[in-house]
Amino acid sequence: MIVSDLLDFFEKIAPLHLQESYDNAGLLTGNLSMEITGVLTCLDSTEEVIQEAINKKLNVVVAHHPIIFSGLKQLTGSTYIERTIQMAIKHDIAIIAMHTNLDNVYQNGVNQKIANQIGLIDQKILKPKNPDVPEVGSGVIGRLSEPKLAMDFLKGLKTKMEVNCIKYTALVHKNIEKVAVAGGSGGFLLQDAINQGAQVFITSDYKYHEFFDANGKIVIADIGHYESEQFTISLLRELINDNFTTFAAHSTLVVTNPVKYL
Chain segment 25-48, per-residue pLDDT in tens = 999 999 999 999 999 999 999 999
Sign of CA dihedral 53, 59, 65, 71: positive
What is the pLDDT, as a whole number, of residue 20?
97
CATH domain 104-223 topology = 3.40.1390
Residue 75: Cβ within 10 Å count: 13
What is the pLDDT, as a whole number, of residue 129?
95
Quick check: helix, strand or coil at residue 23?
Answer: coil
- 102 neighbors 140 (Cβ within 8 angstroms): no
Alpha-helical runs (H) found in the chain? 3-13, 47-55, 80-90, 100-103, 110-117, 150-160, 190-195, 225-229, 232-243
What is the pLDDT, as a whole number, of residue 70?
85
Residue 191 and residue 212: Cα distance in Å, rounded? 13
- 175 neighbors 160 (Cβ within 8 angstroms): no
Which segments of the chain have a pLDDT < 70? none
CA-nearest of 64, 66, 17, 41 to 183 is: 64
Could you tell me the pTM of the whole model? 0.96
CA-nearest of 2, 3, 4, 82 to 45 is: 82
- What are the residue ranges of CATH 3.40.1390.30 in the chain? 3-101+230-251, 104-223
What is the pLDDT, as a whole number, of residue 71?
82
- 98 neighbors 64 (Cβ within 8 angstroms): yes
What is the pLDDT, as a whole number, of residue 215?
97
What is the pLDDT, as a whole number, of residue 72?
87
Determine the CATH number of domain 3-101+230-251.
3.40.1390.30
What is the pLDDT, as a whole number, of residue 199?
98
